Amino acid sequence: MLKLLFSGATSACFELKNDAPYYAPEKFTIYLNAAPVRACETNVFSLFGLTPDTEYALRIAGETLDESLYFRTKSEICVVDVKAFGAAGDGARDDTAAIQAAIGCLPAGGRLYFPAGRYLSLPLTLKSHITLEFAEGATLLGSTERERYPVIPGSISAPGGKETYFGGFEGDARPMYLSLLTAEYAEDIAIVGPGTVDGNAQNGDWWTDYASFPAARPRLMFFNRCKDVALHGVHACNSPSWQLHPYYSEQVGIYDVTVSAPKVSPNTDACDPESCDGVEIIGCRFTVGDDCIAVKSGKIELGTKLNKPADHHTIRNCLMEHGHGAVTLGSEIGAGVRNLSVSKCVFVGTDRGLRIKSRRGRGKNCFINNVTFENIRMDGVLTPIAINLWYNCCDPDRESEYVWSREKLPVDDRTPRMGRFRFRNIACTNAEVAACYIDRLPEAPIDEVALENVSVSFSPDAKPNFPIMENFAKERCRLGLYLDNVRRIRVRGVRLEGVEGDKLIAAHYEEISKDGFEVN
């Protein structure tokens, strides 16, 4: 019942295996080598301040719970205190040169340690085979001097037409300001510790005048074409735009990480893995101004040219509060999404819970398939399930007739496709707008949507709002199940409470089955 998720030289992360979303069935005490460490109430928990290359005995015990395991921390070549390179950590002096020098000097297998303090810095570039550790009370603080942020190209063409890619934003290879922590074409990188990486965007102009900037805003952490990246325990906050952005990378693990930004901050998605393979997001807490998680794979140009789908993603035991969507696919998914599992999560106060958004023009490689959402609890989520193929943001032609036309247009190289989606063991309370709103293109229906053991109750104070973002959108309130252009609809064990009007509105389908559909 106890699983080791991550082990570094000085920290480790564990998961209690059960069927309870995010919170453990009971509170328990963590013991390390028989000594009590602290109480805990979540399925995922971490230990810090461990000794490298050391075996530990872990035990957790509660009223009925008693589990143990042995684990060993990793060995390391050396540990370097960033202050040994001249970093002040006083929040006033610029520590960029000192930190970058320390990173440059660190040998493979080394760890750069940030003791308690505030390290004011411009963007930093990372390299392979290193660990950055932020101790409790340590904060890497982003500089607000935008004019001093380097701008990197989206791509550079070599003789013969081969391109090398460096930067991107919203599905295109674009020039962008260098992110606070950036790794390009690197491997074996870990960023750990209970400390903080703070973009400090609220004290600059990143959230106010960005439409006039000469390049795309930086991320807080950007990993371009990297492999074996681990983020463990850190608090990431206040990024100029997306907070964590793995980009065309492989084997990315994000464990027990907290990401936060004000609810009104623009485009501050917590974690947006783009065209990655093998991503784990486990035990995290996200509360931001946009989507909590948005799985992406580029717009049609990169989706066609590179055709790198988002594949083998696992999201589990996470808490997501506020934001436009808790778990979102899209809208930039030109190479598609496949083999995605979202389970044992809790969503509170987001606009939508499970959100899929795309549109005509994403391309024929935009195929979304084998997607499962299960064992999820939601409270105060306006629309728990939303699949929208009429999304009208992020593109110059967003208001064109091609995007909004309800006519059955020809299927061509620009037409996205959708396969099978399963939603099961999902309980939602205090919804407001719609229990489930699925609206697909008439020329390319979804193959199958299965809703099994899903319950939705509406708030007595529900207010009308928009279930999806589209041109000519209509407000809804306490709408039941709405499914348009889905070939096969499976409804089993669905319970709705507080619906106004028809409990099920289904149109343009080939087959529908209903088994145990209750409405109060």
Name the residues annotated as catalytic: 290, 324
From the number of C-beta atoms within 10 Å of its C-beta (0-12, 13-18, 19+), residue 90 rates as: exposed
Q: What is the DSSP string of 116-147?
A: SEEEEES-EE--SSEEEEE-TTEEEEE---GG
Show the 3-state SS of 363-432: CCCCEEEEEEEEEEEEECCCEEEEEECCCCCCCCCCCCHHHHCCCCCCCCCCCCEECEEEEEEEEEEEEC
Contacts of 32 (CB under 8 A, 6+ apart): 47, 56, 57, 58
The amino acid that residue 409 corresponds to is L
Q: Quick one: tokens of 169?
A: 């934003």
Q: Quick one: tokens of 389?
A: 């193929």
Q: How many CA atoms does the CB half-sphere of 116 hold within 13 Å?
A: 2
* Three-state secondary structure call for residue 85: helix
* Three-state secondary structure call for residue 40: strand
The number of beta carbons lying within 10 Å of the beta carbon of residue 415 is: 17
Contacts of 78 (CB under 8 A, 6+ apart): 106, 107, 109, 110, 111
Buried b / exposed e along 325-355 (16+ C-beta atoms within 10 A): bbbbbbbbbbbbbbbbebbbbbbbbbbbbbb
Cα torsion 380, 385, 388, 393: sign:
positive
Q: Quick one: tokens of 284?
A: 């995290």
CA 414 – CA 254 distance, rounded (Å)? 33
59, 49, 44: which is closest to 8 by C-alpha? 49
Q: State the pairing for strand pair 420-431/446-458.
A: parallel
* Three-state secondary structure call for residue 99: helix
Buried b / exposed e along 147-163 (16+ C-beta atoms within 10 A): eebeebebeeeeeeeee
The number of beta carbons lying within 10 Å of the beta carbon of residue 25 is: 15
From the number of C-beta atoms within 10 Å of its C-beta (0-12, 13-18, 19+), residue 486 rates as: buried
CA 391 – CA 329 distance, rounded (Å)? 12
Q: What element of type H or E holds 181? A: strand 181-184
Buried b / exposed e along 437-457 (16+ C-beta atoms within 10 A): bbbbbeebbbebbbbbbbbbb
